[in-house]
Amino acid sequence: MPFADNEVLDMILKAMNKHEGPISKEMLLKHLKTPPCYTIVRVNTVTTSKDILRDAIEEALSMQYSLKSISPPTIQYHDTIQDILVIKSNHSLEKAKPIYPHVMVGLGCAIAILRGANAYSPGITAIPTGVAIGDQVSVFADLLGQCKRGWNKEYEGLKYFVGNGLLLQSRQDLFTVGSPRGLAINMIEPLFDCPGIGDILLDDKTVGFQKGFLQNLPSVLCGHALNPLPHHFVLDLCAAPGGKTTHIGSLMENKGTIFALDKSASKINQIQDNSARLGLSNITAFVFDSTAACIMENSQQFQEYDTTELVSPLPTSPPFLPNSFDRILLDAPCSALGQRPQLYNPIRLKEVQSFARLQKKLFLTAAHLLKPGGRMVYSTCTYNIAENEEIIDWALGLFPFLRITSSSVRLGKPGYRIGQLTEEDCNAMQRFGSCPHENSSMDENSDTIGFFICCLEKVPLS
Ligand code: SAM
C-alpha cells in the first residue's frame, strides 16, 4: 500500500495501461516498492578518471563484502554514457527475516537502507529496552511516521521490514543526547543487497576531492542532453541540492559560468557544499524564486536598462534580462511519483494536480531567459502526464520560438502522444522507469526511477 490516496495510484496505472500496454495494480505496486537493481556513480571528471574511481570502489566493496557471505557486485562501464560507473546489485537476496528485536526508523532512513546505506542516528525512532550495543536487530520503517521517538516497546503500528543489522549505539546514546550523530546500525543483512557506495565516496579523501557522485541514470542524462560547453553561460533554475548543477560544472571542465538558483535558503548550502567537495569553482548559487528570475519586457526594471545597446550586459545576479543564457536547466519541483523505492506516499491527488501551475510559471521564465539558438532541458521525476507531456504541449502552443530537439543520447522510451504533440515530438522526449511487463527483463537503462526529459531549442534570430 504505498499510496494514501488510491486515486493517485489509479491515475498512474491508467496512463501506463493506455500508453504502454497492460499491467496490473499488483505489478505496479511491486515495481514501486522495489529499489532499482543498479547503482550509478557519476565520475567527477574534473579531478579523476573512470578507471581510478572504479579501482577505488572495487577495493572498498571487496572489504565491505568480506563481512557478507556473498561476492561483491561487479562494476561496469556504460555503453553510451562515458562518465558513469554501473554497479549491479545482487537483488535475489530477499532472504532476511525479522527474527530479532524490532528497531523503528523513519521513512527516509528506510529508503536509504533499501538503496544500500547503513542506518545513522538521526533516522532511528525506537529501540525496545534491553537491547544493547552489539545485539542483532530487525529494522522496520515507520510508514505513517506515528511512532514516538524513544518508544521503548515493540511498535505495533504500520511498519515495513527493511533488513537486519548490528546495533552500534545504545538507547541512551540515541535518545538522551541532544542531537545524536554517527552510524547507529550496521546493516549486515538488508532486504535487498545494494552496495553501500555513499560512504565509500565520502570517506575517500586520498585526492582531496570527492571522486564520484551517486546519481540516478536519468538525472545524469539531463546534463548530457543540455550539452553545455566550457564557454557557456548556464542557468539552473531549481538547483538544490546540486546533483545536476555539479554535473554541468564537470561537463564544462570547471570553466564558464553556472548560476544555480533555488528558492529554499536551507538547501542552497547543499549546492555550495557539493560544489566544494567536487572541486568545482564555476558555480554561483543564489537563494531566489525563479518564477521572478526574468526581468519582463513590460516591467519598470526593464525600462531602466539601456536597450539601445546592441549587446546585453553579461548576467551577474538574478533577476536577469531576457535572452541571457546559452543553456537552461529546469529540473522542476514535481509530485515525485517516480521515486523508487516508495514504501508509503502520503500525497493526495489534489496536491499532485497543483504542480503544473508552478511548472508553467518556471517554464515561462526559462523560455524568456534562453538566448536565441540556446538550448533548455525540462525534467521531472514523476509519471504524471500533466507535469510532463502536457507542459511541453502547452509550451509549444504558447512559444512559437521553441522547438523540441532530440538529445544525442537516447536511453528512455518516447513521451506519451497527447494534445498537439507529433510522433516526432514524442520520439524526441524520454520517459524512464516504466513498470516492466510480465517476464520482460530490465537493464540499467530501464530499471530506474520514473523520470521525464525533454530538450528544447529557441529558434535562432534570422
Ligand atoms: N536539480 C536538483 C538536483 O538535481 O539536485 C533537484 C531539484 S528538485 C527536483 C526541485 C527544487 O526546486 C527544490 O530544491 C525546490 O526547493 C526548488 N524550487 C521549488 N520552487 C522553486 C522556485 N519557485 N524557485 C526556485 N526553486 C524552486
| Spans of all domains in the chain | 38-90+201-215, 102-190, 216-458
> How does DSSP assign 320-332, residue by residue?
B-TT-EEEEEEE-
216-458 carries CATH number 3.40.50.150: yes
171, 153 Cβ separation under 8 angstroms? no
> How does DSSP assign 402-419, residue by residue?
EEEE--S---SBPPP--T
Mean pLDDT along residues 103-122: 95
Residue 345 per-residue DSSP state: B
* 185 vs 164: CA distance, rounded Å: 9
Q: For the segment 310-353, what is each residue's pLDDT rounded down to a tens digit? A: 556 788 999 999 999 999 999 999 999 999 999 999 999 999 99
Q: Which of 250, 211, 214 is nearest to 234 (CA)?
A: 250
* 330 vs 365: CA distance, rounded Å: 10
- Residue 303: CB partners within 8 Å, gap ≥ 6? none
pLDDT of residue 248: 98
* 158 vs 141: CA distance, rounded Å: 9
Q: For the segment 133-162, what is each residue's pLDDT rounded down to a tens digit? A: 999 999 999 999 999 999 999 999 999 999
pLDDT of residue 249: 98
Distance 454 CA to ligand 1 centre (A): 17
For atom 8 of ligand 1, which residue has the closest CA? 333
Handedness of CA 345, 346, 347, 349 (dihedral sign): positive
Q: Is the peptide bond between 319 and the residue preceding it cis, with omega within 30 degrees of 0?
A: yes
Express the helix, strand and coil content of the chain in percent, nearest 5 each: 30, 25, 45
Q: What is the pTM of this model?
A: 0.94
From 226, 238, 248, 275, give the residue whose CB has the most ligand 1 atoms within 8 Å, as the site to mutate. 238
Q: HSE-up of 41 (CA within 13 Å, CB side)?
A: 33
Q: For the segment 269-299, what is each residue's pLDDT rounded down to a tens digit? A: 999 999 999 999 999 999 999 999 999 877 7
Q: For the segment 243-260, what is each residue's pLDDT rounded down to a tens digit? A: 999 999 999 999 999 999
| Residue matched to cell numbers 566493496 | 61
Ligand 1 atom showing the smallest separation from residue 264 Cα: 16
Verify whether ligand 1 is closer than 6 Å to residue 270 (CB atom): no
Ligand 1 atom showing the smallest separation from residue 215 Cα: 4
* 406 vs 48: CA distance, rounded Å: 30
CATH number for 102-190: choose from 1.50.10.10, 2.60.40.10, 2.30.130.10, 3.90.950.10: 2.30.130.10
Ligand 1 atom showing the smallest separation from residue 290 Cα: 24
Mean pLDDT along residues 199-206: 68
pLDDT of residue 438: 78
pLDDT grade, residue 303 (50/70/90)?
confident
Verify whether ligand 1 is closer than 6 Å to residue 262 (CB atom): yes
pLDDT of residue 198: 82
| Residues acting as catalytic residues | 381
Query: pLDDT at residue 65 above 90?
Result: no
Distance 75 CA to ligand 1 centre (A): 31
Q: Do domains 102-190 and 216-458 have the same CATH topology?
A: no
Grid cell of 399 as nine digits: 512559444
Verify whether ligand 1 is closer than 6 Å to residue 241 (CB atom): yes
pLDDT of residue 308: 56
Q: Which of 225, 231, 223 is nearest to 251 (CA)?
A: 223
pLDDT grade, residue 441 (50/70/90)?
confident
* 277 vs 279: CA distance, rounded Å: 6
Q: How far is CA 132 from CA 103, 125, 127, in A?
A: 12, 16, 10
The CA-based diameter of the chain, rounded to the nearest angstrom, is 77
Verify whether ligand 1 is closer than 6 Å to residue 360 (CB atom): no
Handedness of CA 104, 110, 116, 121 (dihedral sign): negative
73, 88 Cβ separation under 8 angstroms? yes
Does the annotation place 240 within a ligand binding site?
yes
pLDDT grade, residue 35 (50/70/90)?
very high
Q: Which of 346, 332, 428, 340 is nearest to 386 (CA)?
A: 332
* 91 vs 105: CA distance, rounded Å: 22
Q: Is the peptide bond between 241 and the residue preceding it cis, with omega within 30 degrees of 0?
A: yes
Angle between helices 243-251 and 265-277 (to 10 degrees): 40
Grid cell of 195 as nine digits: 552496495
280, 46 Cβ separation under 8 angstroms? yes
Q: Which of 304, 219, 294, 300 is nearest to 259 (CA)?
A: 294
pLDDT of residue 329: 98
Q: How far is CA 96 from CA 30, 105, 162, 187, 193, in A?
A: 18, 17, 9, 11, 10
- Residue 16: CB partners within 8 Å, gap ≥ 6? 23, 28, 383, 434, 435
Mean pLDDT along residues 385-413: 96
**What percentage of the chain exceeds 90 in pLDDT?**
83
The secondary element (H helix, E strand) that includes residue 128 is none
From 217, 262, 289, 382, give the residue whose CB has the most ligand 1 atoms within 8 Å, as the site to mutate. 262
Grid cell of 191 as nine digits: 532486504
Handedness of CA 18, 22, 23, 25 (dihedral sign): positive
Residue 118 φ then ψ, to 5°: -90, 175
pLDDT of residue 68: 73
Verify whether ligand 1 is closer than 6 Å to residue 277 (CB atom): no
- Residue 33: CB partners within 8 Å, gap ≥ 6? 2, 341, 342, 343
